[in-house]
Amino acid sequence: MTADTSAPETGGEEFVVTRTFDAPRDLLWRVWTEAGHLQHWWGPKGFRVLNCTNDLRPGGVFHFGLRAPDGSVMWGKWVYREVRPPERLVFVSAFSDAAANTVRAPFSADWPLEVLSTLTLAEQAGRTTLTMRAVAISLTEAERRTFEAMFGSMQQGWAGTLDQLEAYLARV
């Protein structure tokens, strides 16, 4: 399944996170793309998935709600641009409301409304390297600065999310 992946206007530096898992690529693909798996590990460490649906096709949406440790609720979505099993996903991620309408991030009025993300999975000898690349799109200068200033925090957040994925992979 592919779609037009011509990127909209992007700006600023690219955020990259990489992790190698002791799991085959097909399994990593399934736990990353099936709602039944995502509900068990997706989100920052300490957050719990309240609800998630996933329409895995170009133009389809992964929509999810998360409950933070303090009890607050946050929603997000990905709109898929490219789906190439089991090696590549391209999607636009955004914060949303419960109805999947794009909204501003709850933590910053200057966080970009949309971030173009590319996930690749490469297998070698039964181990799979996941690489996530993200760049803000259609952004203001203030949004670019905010996005780039958050790279350290994003690394920590992704480390916790990928720790949860690793723990989940050990159970499936």
92-113: pLDDT as tens digits = 999 999 999 999 999 999 999 9
Instruction: Tell me, yes or no, whether 2 lies in a domain.
Output: no
Instruction: Tell me, yes or no, whether 118 lies in a domain.
Output: yes
**12 pLDDT band (50/70/90 cuts)?**
confident
Q: Which tokens go with 49?
A: 């998935």
133-166: pLDDT as tens digits = 999 998 999 999 999 999 999 999 999 999 999 9
Instruction: Tell me, yes or no, whether 79 lies in a domain.
Output: yes
- CATH number where 33 lies: 3.30.530.20
40-54: pLDDT as tens digits = 999 999 999 999 999
Question: For 144, what's the count of Cα atoms within 13 Å in the CB-facing half-sphere?
Answer: 11
Q: Which residue has the higher pLDDT, 8 or 65?
A: 65
Instruction: Tell me, yes or no, whether 40 lies in a domain.
Output: yes
Instruction: Tell me, yes or no, whether 157 lies in a domain.
Output: yes
Instruction: Tell me, yes or no, whether 8 lies in a domain.
Output: no
pLDDT at 91 over 50: yes
Bridge partners of 84, per DSSP, are 88
pLDDT at 21: 98
Mean pLDDT of 80-93: 98
In 48-107 the beta strands, taken as DSSP E runs, fall at 48-54, 61-67, 73-84, 88-96
User: Cα(83)–Cα(104) distance, rounded to whole angstroms?
Assistant: 26
User: Cα(89)–Cα(104) distance, rounded to whole angstroms?
Assistant: 24
Instruction: Tell me, yes or no, whether 7 lies in a domain.
Output: no
pLDDT at 3: 43
pLDDT at 2 over 80: no
How many structural domains are present in the chain? 1
Residue 114 belongs to what domain range? 15-171
User: For residue 94, how many other CB atoms are within 10 A of its CB?
Assistant: 21
Which residues are CB-neighbours of 141 under 8 A, at least 6 positions away? Answer: none
**72 pLDDT band (50/70/90 cuts)?**
very high
113-129: pLDDT as tens digits = 999 999 999 999 999 99
Instruction: Tell me, yes or no, whether 10 lies in a domain.
Output: no
